[in-house]
Amino acid sequence: MTYSTKGGFYGDNEDNSITQQLNVRDAWLCHGCDYKTGLLSQGPALGLFKEVEAFLTLNSYEIVTLILEDGVDAGTNTLGKVFDASGLTKYLFPLSKMPLHGEDWPLVKDMVTANERLVVFSSSKSKQESEGIAYQWNFMVEYKLYTLLGRDGMHTNRGRSLKLNNTSKSLVLFNYVDSEQKKKKKNYNSAYDFTAPKEINTKDLINTIKMCYTSISKRWPNFIAVDYRKRRDGGAAFEAVDFLNGKLLCGCEDVNSCQNGSLCTSDVDDESQNHIWFNV
C-alpha cells in the first residue's frame, strides 16, 4: 500500500491512515509533505513512524517493510533520529543480515524470535554507508507501469532498478501505479482523477503479474504497489495478494487453497517458499 500526504509531490493517494493500512497488509511511506525536503520533514514523518511503532508493539508476530522515497541529504542522520524518536529502532532488521547476490532472506519465525520485525529500504544510496539503511536497488528490482489507461502494459524496469531478469537482487517490486496519469496534471500538488486508480487496480492486475513472471526470470513479485487499494471492482489488489501468497507458499492459485503446507503443484522450488513473508 502507499501513503502520500496532502500537499505532497503527487497529492494524497490513499483513503486510509497508516494504522488502517497496516491492519490490512503493509505500508509504503512515500512522496512527503514538502518536495524540497522529501518525506523526512520532522513533523509528519515522526507521527507516521509512531503509528508503525504502535502497530508493531500491538502485533508481536507481524513484520513491516518500509520502502522510503528519501530526498533528505545524507550526513544528517535524519532517519536514525526519527527511528529513535518514534521507538522503531528496537525493531530494525540490521543491514548486516540482509542477503546480497540474490540469496535467501531469513524465515519469518527467526525474525519474529529476534524481534527484528521492521525492514527498511531507502532510495538514497549514500544512506546505506552513512546510516546503515539498506539502499533499495541493492536488494530488489522494480517493474514499473509506464502506460496510460487503455494501453497494454510494458514489462519495464524503473530507471534506477536493474533489468527485471537480474537475479542478483532477491526481491521484486511490482509497481502498478500509473504515474504517467499523474504527470498529466500541471500542478503536482493537485489530486488526480479518482476514477483512474479504480480502473487501473482492477484491469488485468493478476494477468499482468502472470505475463511479467517470465520477464523477471520466473519469479513472483514480493511486493505490490497500488493507489487507493479500496477503490476497485472485484478482488483487485487483495485478490492479487492471495494469488501471490498462494504461488509462493505452495503453488496454488489462491493462498486460501493451501492446506498444511502441502504443494498444489510439483514445480514450486525451495527458494520461493522462503520468501512468502514479503507479499503486501
32-56 pLDDT, tens digit each: 444 444 444 444 678 889 999 999 9
Same domain, 173 and 67: no
Cell 508476530 sits at which residue? 61
Residue finishing a domain among 103, 138, 173: 138
Counting other chains too, the contacts that 134-137 makes at CB distance below 8 Å and 24 or more residues apart are 134/95, 134/98, 136/67, 136/160, 137/161, 137/162, 137/169
Do 56 and 154 share a structural domain? no
Distance CA 272, CA 251 (A): 9
- Can you tell me the distance from the alpha carbon of 19 to that of 39, in angstroms, rounded to the nearest whole number? 18
Same domain, 105 and 198: no
The number of distinct structural domains making up the chain is 2
Could you tell me if 174 and 223 are in contact, meaning their C-beta atoms sit under 8 angstroms apart? yes
| Same-domain check for residues 29 and 63 | yes
pLDDT at 109 (0 to 100)? 93
- Cα distance between residue 38 and residue 10, in whole Å: 12
In the chain, pLDDT over 70 holds for what percent of residues? 58
Residue 139 has pLDDT above 90, yes or no: yes
| 146 and 279 part of one domain | yes
| Inter-CA distances, 102 with 172, 175, 219, 244, Å | 11, 20, 12, 19
pLDDT confidence of residue 116: 98
Domain end position, chosen among 100, 116, 138: 138
**Of the candidate ranges 8-12, 144-148, 211-215, 242-246, the one whose mean pLDDT is the lowest:** 8-12
Give the span between the Cα atoms of 25 and 129, in whole angstroms: 30
Of 96, 123, 138, which residue constitutes the final position of a domain? Answer: 138
189 shares its domain with 129: no
pLDDT of residue 69: 83
Least confident of 86-90, 117-121, 213-217, 259-263: 259-263
| Pair 259, 194 in one domain | yes
Q: Are residues 120 and 159 in the same domain?
A: no
Q: What domain range is 106 assigned to?
A: 1-138
Q: How confident is the model at residue 270 (pLDDT cuts 50, 70, 90)?
A: very low
The mean pLDDT of the chain is: 73
Are the C-beta atoms of residues 28 and 225 closer than 8 Å to each other?
yes
The pLDDT value given to residue 217: 81
- Encode pLDDT of 201-255 as tens digits: 656 788 888 888 877 788 899 998 877 666 666 677 888 888 998 998 888 888 8
pLDDT at 179 over 70: no
Half-sphere exposure of 223 (CA within 13 A, CB side): 26
The residues with which 122 forms a beta bridge, in sequence order, are 68, 135
pLDDT score of 214? 78
Per-residue confidence (pLDDT) for residue 260, from 0 to 100: 66
Kindly state the cell numbers that stand for 174.
Answer: 511490482
Task: Name the region of 42 (left: φ>0; alpha: ψ -120 to 50; beta: rest).
Answer: alpha
pTM above threshold 0.85: no
154 and 106 share one domain: no
Going by pLDDT thresholds of 50, 70 and 90, the confidence category of residue 17 is low
State whether 116 and 244 are in the same domain.
no
Please indicate, yes or no, whether residues 100 and 187 belong to a single structural domain of this protein: no
Q: Are residues 7 and 70 in the same domain?
A: yes
E strand residue ranges, the chain: 64-68, 118-122, 134-135, 140-144, 156-157, 171-175, 223-225
